[in-house]
Structure 1
Amino acid sequence: MNLSYWEIKTWLTNIDYTVVGSGIVGLNCALQLKKQYPKANILILEKGMLPQGASTKNAGFACFGSLSEIIDDLNTHTEQEVIELVKKRVKGLALLRDNLGDKTIDYLQLGGYELFQDTNSNLFQNCISKITEINNLLKPVFNAGVFSLKQNSFQFKNIKENTIFNQFEGQIDTGKMMEALLKKVQAKGIKILNNILVEEFSDNENTVNIKTNQFEFTSAKLLIATNGFASQLISETVKPARAQVLITKPIKNLHIKGTFHLDEGYYYFRNINNRILFGGGRNLDFKTEETTEVSQTDLIQNKLEELLKTTILPNTAFEIEHRWSGIMGVGNQKKPIVKQLSNNVFCGVRLGGMGVAIGSTIGKQLADITL
């Protein structure tokens, strides 16, 4: 890039902290750094025009795990680990709401519903049999029962008559959340450069040399918050997981309210501005969806449309207005990776599809380990 003296001096000189990724984690990290060091020169680099991970691509679920997901987690985690996972998500959501305000992000606690297909009786019976056990497990976190049975009152078809209701689940407007975070960051004098891809870096004891697709520069510290794209820069065990989404055109008299999980949470939908936003389906082809390509496949998009027609909106005409994809960061364990990689390089990645819930706290933790 043909940079002038002024551009180099103003944007790329004497950088104290460089944050890679302008998603939930990166922005919260930068805000925490600025809080601790008000005079610090902080630069955020973002490879896209907007955040390219899942921060502006998600469904806006303010959730901490459906019943079937928590039961499944108990197969690979101890009870105490599961309690800690849920606790972190609850605390993260509280921090997000406190930082930005419920009105700003359109937070609504309308509850969440887990639906079970007629063909999935074993999963349904297993979940029902463990409601009391899981409620007791989570009681220290919520001081109340979380899950209960509720009738299918939304005229969904081909599902069990009863759904499992989560009274504490909420929803937000993802766009408003990210817009508010960006405004806070910019108001603090933190610089953001978009369309800048970090290609490689080297830690030289006192500084980090950073090479991008546009220029090279040095920074005292480097903080990597690229989640699903982490493997492109670092060797931590983070796999990309693509989430495909579609949204309908507005539908008159759409009475569906709340957030909805189907098929162990691999499908999820909600009402937003009298439209159905519907995503998921990566369980149809895990290997293909283990990608950083932000595109769609016929296999999953056709399945989403089929479920809309047969299950979610069986008696309602609808049209698809838009489709997109987001990239999550997952692994064998649900515990995020927040660690020091070398003298001056740190990372906060692998949010496991819970970025809305834990992104604020992971960003804060990432900043804190550099202090």
Structure 2
Amino acid sequence: MLSFWEKRSFIKYDLVIIGAGIVGLSTAIQFKKDNPQASVLVLEKGVFPSGASTRNAGFACFGSLTEIIDDLKSLPVQEVKELVEKRHRGLRAIRSIFGDQALGYQENGGLELISSKEEKYLERIEYINTLLFPVFDDDVFEVENQHEKYGFSAKVKAVVRNKFEGELDSGKFLNVLWETCQVFKIKILTGAYVKEIDQENKTVTVKDPSHDSFISFEALKIAVCTNAFTSQLLKGIDLQPGRGMVMVSSPLVKTIPWKGAFHYDMGYVYFRNIENRLLIGGGRNQDFDTEKTLDQGINPKLKTYLLDLVHEVILPGQKVEIEQEWSGVMAFGPNKKPVIKLVSEDVGVAVRLGGMGVAIGWQTASELVKMLQRQ
């Protein structure tokens, strides 16, 4: 039951966005920037974003060598190039708009550990560099000389460097998005569990936990930015959830002899140095079926796999104690291309970011805003 004041002031909007992660907030900001007089509401079921926007590893990356080569198996060459360009453009955009300091951005490069099973991919570096040269105006990948300096075990046969990637602080990224939303007077309601979208009447119905009742918000346009959770609201979107776990160690006794955004095992494992702590995550490829879930949690099989890599490959001989662990839920499909489209008049979706939300989120939102504004 709404009050007279609530019904008059809080129910009708020009744009209602579902999902307050990177894509949802980026959509709100860009729409409001283009339409200063528009009223914009963002609905989020969690206190913090429910997916992976604040539960990722903070990698500002667009794809390791082996990931890009693997993408060529499911996408045409031109589409792979365009996808990498979109990710790179997205990273440049957020750095330009918000600034490296606000994002906690570190330009330490991206690096990939190559084991014996991936050595064959080294032969394709020249081809991938040629493919991406028009995007970067430079070679992207190069094999490091004397990779032994990193202190990895003998299982690492080579290290490939990419100077165009970096790392950021995922909490700072969301903070700057929140602060920008405040500047633009965008409303964000958390604890707003969306039960239904009526595409014809342009309403979004939310469960009000305080009064055990429902509230229907009215909108001229609706944007669904719920990534892995989209199937709970819309049918016909080809995506599957993919959970990713992350762990952070206590500060190490010895100084970690490297910095950068590191990848291993075809990009399924990622790790970095944060204040002389080891952050490591991933391993989803060790148990795909179990990780196709919307539930947060830690898979013991994956944890064991990652800890074995820490002790046997990444920091052999060092004592590493895990201080914190968590997981976030991403969305994947038959290829890495995000789904950005109108599902009906004035109702759009921007989802299925393939684990690249940090890089591609801003650009994905930009495309969705353009689609909604053309209506």
The bucket for the TM-score relative to the shorter chain is over 0.9
* Cα drift, residue 179 of structure 1: 0.4
Q: How many Å separate the matches in 2 of 1:359 and 1:34?
A: 17
CA drift of 1:3 comes to: 4.5
Q: CA deviation at 1:75?
A: 1.4
Residue 195 (structure 2) pairs with residue 196 (structure 1): no
Q: Any residues of structure 2 matched to 1:217-296 within 5 Å, and which? A: 217=216, 218-235=218-235, 236-252=237-253, 253-296=255-298
State, as a whole percentage, how many aligned pairs show the same letter.
43
TM-score (norm 2): 0.94
Deviations 1:290-310 (A, max 9, x none): 111011111111211221122
Residues 270 and 282 of structure 2 are in contact (CA less than 8 Å); yes or no, is this contact kept in structure 1? yes
Contact residue 71 and residue 335 of structure 2 kept, 8 A: no
1:310 aligned residue: 312
Tell me, in whole angstroms, the C-alpha distance in 2 between the residues paired with 1:142 and 1:309: 36
Q: Considering only aligned residues, what root-mean-square deviation do their CA atoms show, in Å?
A: 1.4
Task: For structure 1, list consecutive stretches of 5 or more residues without a partner in the other structure.
Answer: none
Deviation of 1:245 after TM superposition, in Å, equals: 0.9
Question: 1:209 and 1:184 mapped to 2: Cα distance?
Answer: 26
Check conservation: 2:152, 2:313, Cα contact below 8 A.
Answer: yes
Q: Residue in 1 aligned with 2:151?
A: 155
Segments of structure 2 that go 5 or more residues without pairing to the other structure are: 209-213
Question: For residues 258 and 317 of structure 2, what CA distance do their matches in structure 1 show?
Answer: 13
Pairwise CA distance, 1:22: 0.6
What's the counterpart of residue 145 of structure 1?
139
- CA deviations on 1:188-246 (whole Å, 9 max, x unpaired) are 11000001111111123xx4122222232222211100111111111210111100111
Post-superposition Cα deviations, 1:1-50, rounded to whole Å, max 9, x if no partner, equal x65433343322x2111000111111110011111211111100001100
Aligned residue in 1 for 2:165: 169
2:369 corresponds to: 367
1:134 aligns with 2:128: yes
CA distance in 2, matches of 1:6, 1:313: 60
Alpha-carbon distance in 1 for matches of 2:19, 2:53: 10
C-alpha contact (below 8 Å) 2:112/2:262 kept by paired residues: yes
Distance 1:228 1:364, change over 3 A: same
Deviations 1:144-179 (CA, angstroms, capped at 9, x unpaired): 111111113221114224211112111111110110
SS of the equivalent of 1:163 reads strand
- Counterpart in the other structure of 1:11: 10
Q: Is the 8 A contact 1:107 1:172 kept in 2?
A: yes
**In structure 1, distance between residues paired with 2:180 and 2:158:** 43
CA distance in 1, matches of 2:308, 2:118: 22
2:151 touches 2:257 (CA, 8 Å); kept in 1?
A: no
> Residue 80 of structure 1 aligns with which residue?
78
Distance 2:168 2:222 in 1: 31
Q: Is the 8 A contact 1:115 1:159 kept in 2?
A: no
What residue is the counterpart of 2:211 in the other structure?
Answer: none
TM-superposed deviation, 1:113:
1.3
Displacement of 1:77 after TM fit? Answer: 1.4
Alpha-carbon displacement from aligned partner over 1:324-352 (angstroms, at most 9, x marks no partner): 11111110022111111112311111111
